[in-house]
């Protein structure tokens, strides 16, 4: 048995790990897209480091694009095996890949206009909507908590990772030459006190572990509850300034957390009487999917569901689907809250809302998640006087803020709790993936002190034998 690492190796995107078992059978763990890696991004996404055509199965941990975004390209490049996922992951991946394909096609159309004018050869999108649809035909769903036989000598178990709806830690029980060993891949690990989701679950003893390490050496700020921070911003911008509050939010996870927080404020009769818009067709679709899986919610939400059948809907909430309605928001003078994707404000309708509202000091822009250093979201937070959006310079007069207590990733304490079900002395090798290198080196030291004896931070395309 051997393993090689082809993404999320000393970085946080492009999750892809290839396990080779007896008979040269190849199992790919995740097929994520590299994102926000500057001018290396395209090259990284075009160099697999292995031949997709000889991969037998793909096991997907969750739907986020940095874990699923290259699936249509994998299929286009020759993969024709089964893709395993939990039912919610399959559903979410379907809408996210369709959206991703549309972005690829639109981007290339935009670039090709310029290339055609300059007489340069035209580019092809990395994949199309048709490629994404073809990939969805290969999915087979596997429920949580039941060992599932993939083929002789290879069994799969999904346990809830508490990161987004459908997210799972992947456990593979591999039998070779009469010996059975377990390889566990954490996927992304959620928090033990998530606003909406259940906590990550315990799992059987593993021989080898691939562990995410995004926040492997830090602790989240839990002192400022997100509910109160949100309310403070709404009060300041919409009630006192009579302005608009723009909230960029990831369509899966963060948007639902914000809606839940606002719903909660309404239940407590603290929510100001305003119009609250969710302006993102993708967020509308993903919120509908999230509502279909109440079994993944934590006990608090289960209890709320007994009296409130929709914990993501409240008075004043309006969903905006078409572009015309979205544009009408520009002409509104009344105060309101606009929640829109993408979370880093790099793409999507939120970019238009920011360009229309950033110059007015009555308005506010509230970031709610991690922003790549070059993204619009990050540039707004750097305290500059001006920002360029769609090639046009805008003076920044709106108030810019960020809520730091919202994260879908566990911190050091959460990751430690995730590992607490394991006897460290029985884990033969532990690999840290999905993290920045310095954080990983620090986390590695901490794990060695906890008794894990062999901890590796693999670099891109690193390969090693197991057992």
Q: Backbone phi, then psi, for 25, in 5-degree steps?
A: -80, 135
State how beta strands 392-395 and 386-389 pair.
antiparallel
CB nearer Zn ion, residue 64 or residue 244: 64
Q: What count of other Cβ atoms lies within 10 Å of the Cβ of residue 242?
A: 12
- In the chain the first and final C-alpha atoms are separated, in Å, by 7
- Taking contact as CB under 5 A, which single stretch among the options 31-39, 59-67, 236-244, 344-352 is the one that binds Zn ion? 59-67
| Cβ-based neighbours of 107, under 8 Å, separated by 6 or more | 125
The DSSP 8-state label assigned to residue 274 in this structure reads -
Interface pick for Zn ion out of 131, 160, 188, 279 (rule CB under 5 A): 188
In order of 132, 186, 411, 456, the CA distances from 208 in angstroms are 32, 11, 21, 11
Q: Does 26 bind Zn ion (CB under 5 A)?
A: no
Smallest gap from Cβ 30 to Zn ion, in A, equals 10
Under rule CB under 5 A, residue 64 binds Zn ion: yes
Residue span binding Zn ion (CB under 5 A) among the ranges 86-94, 170-178, 185-193, 307-315? 185-193
Count the site residues for Zn ion by CB under 5 A: 2
For the sheet containing 57-59, what is the strand order? 139-141, 82-85, 57-59, 25-29, 17-21, 2-5, 463-465
Q: What is d(CA 143, CA 226) in angstroms, rounded to the nearest whole number?
A: 32
* 95, 99, 104, 110 alpha-carbon torsion, rounded to 10°: 160
Looking at 103-111, 182-190, 195-203, 359-367, which segment touches Zn ion (CB under 5 A)? Answer: 182-190
DSSP assignments along 352-381, one per residue? HHHHHHTT-TT-EEEE-S---TTSHHHHHT
Say which residues have a Cβ less than 8 Å from residue 262's Cβ, sequence separation at least 6. 230, 271, 276, 314, 317
Closest approach, Cβ 64 to Zn ion, in A, equals 4
What distance in Å separates the CA atoms of residue 354 and residue 364, rounded to the nearest whole number? 9
Is residue 212 a contact point for Zn ion (CB under 5 A)?
no
Closer by beta carbon to Zn ion, 266 or else 411: 411
Residues with Cβ within 8 Å of residue 130, at least 6 apart in sequence = none
Of 10 and 254, the one with the shorter C-beta distance to Zn ion is: 254
Residues 6 or more apart whose Cβ sits within 8 Å of residue 118? none
Shortest CB 51 distance to Zn ion, Å: 26
Classify residue 186 by its DSSP letter.
-
Structural Rg of the chain based on CA atoms: 22
Closer residue to Zn ion, CB minimum distance, 16 or 64: 64
Nearer to Zn ion among residue 160 and residue 188 (C-beta): 188
Residue closer to Zn ion (CB basis): 36 or 335 = 36
| Closest to Zn ion by CB, 252 or 317 | 252
CB of 211 to Zn ion, least distance (A): 14
Candidates 22-30, 183-191, 246-254, 313-321; binding stretch for Zn ion (CB under 5 A): 183-191
CB of 161 to Zn ion, least distance (A): 9
Q: Considering only 57-65, 236-244, 246-254, 316-324, which stretch makes contact with Zn ion by CB under 5 A?
A: 57-65
**Rounded least distance, CB 297 to Zn ion, Å:** 18
Q: Shortest Cβ distance from residue 291 to Zn ion (Å)? A: 20
By beta-carbon proximity to Zn ion, the closer residue of 93 and 357 is 93
CB of 83 to Zn ion, least distance (A): 17
Contact residues: Zn ion, CB under 5 A: 64, 188
């Amino acid at each position: 048995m051997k393993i090689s690492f082809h993404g999320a190796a000393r970085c946080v995107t492009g999750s892809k790990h290839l396990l080779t078992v007896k008979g040269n059978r190849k199992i790919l763990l995740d097929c994520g897209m590299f994102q926000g890696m500057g001018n290396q991004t395209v090259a990284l996404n075009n160099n697999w480091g292995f031949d997709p055509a000889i991969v037998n199965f793909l096991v997907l941990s969750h739907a986020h694009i940095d874990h699923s975004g290259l699936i249509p390209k994998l299929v286009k490049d020759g993969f024709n095996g089964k893709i395993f996922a939990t039912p919610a992951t399959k559903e979410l991946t379907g809408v996210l890949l369709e959206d991703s394909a549309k972005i690829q096609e639109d981007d290339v159309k935009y670039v090709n206009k310029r290339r055609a004018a300059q007489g340069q050869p035209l580019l092809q999108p990395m994949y199309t909507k048709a490629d994404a649809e073809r990939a969805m035909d290969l999915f087979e769903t596997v429920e949580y908590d039941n060992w599932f036989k993939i083929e002789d000598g290879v069994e799969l178990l999904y346990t809830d990772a508490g990161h987004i709806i459908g997210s799972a830690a992947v456990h593979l029980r591999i039998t070779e030459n009469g010996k059975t060993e377990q390889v566990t891949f954490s996927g992304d690990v959620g928090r033990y006190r998530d606003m909406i989701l259940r906590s990550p679950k315990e799992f059987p003893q593993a021989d080898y572990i691939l562990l995410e390490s995004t926040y492997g050496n830090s602790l989240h700020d839990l002192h400022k509850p997100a509910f109160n921070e949100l309310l403070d911003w709404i009060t300041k911008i919409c009630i006192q300034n009579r302005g608009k509050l723009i909230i960029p939010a990831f369509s899966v996870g963060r948007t639902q957390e914000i809606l839940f927080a606002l719903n909660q404020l309404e239940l407590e009769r603290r929510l100001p009487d305003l119009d609250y818009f969710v302006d993102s067709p993708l967020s509308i679709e993903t919120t509908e999917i999230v509502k279909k899986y109440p079994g993944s919610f934590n006990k608090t939400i289960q209890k709320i569901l007994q009296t409130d059948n929709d914990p993501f809907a409240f008075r004043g909430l309006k969903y905006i689907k078409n572009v015309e309605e979205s544009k009408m928001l520009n002409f509104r003078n009344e105060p309101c809250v606009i929640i829109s994707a993408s979370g880093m404000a790099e793409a999507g309708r939120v970019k238009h809302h920011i360009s229309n509202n950033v110059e007015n000091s009555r308005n506010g822009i509230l970031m709610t998640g991690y922003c790549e250093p070059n993204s619009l979201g990050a540039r707004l937070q750097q305290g500059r006087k001006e920002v360029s959006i769609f090639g046009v310079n805008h003076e920044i007069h709106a108030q810019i803020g960020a809520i730091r207590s919202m994260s879908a990733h566990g911190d050091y304490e959460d990751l430690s709790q995730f590992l607490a079900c394991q006897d460290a002395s029985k884990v033969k090798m532990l690999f840290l993936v999905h993290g920045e290198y310095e954080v990983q080196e620090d986390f590695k030291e901490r794990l060695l002190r906890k008794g894990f004896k062999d901890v590796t931070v693999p670099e891109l395309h690193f390969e090693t034998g197991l057992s």
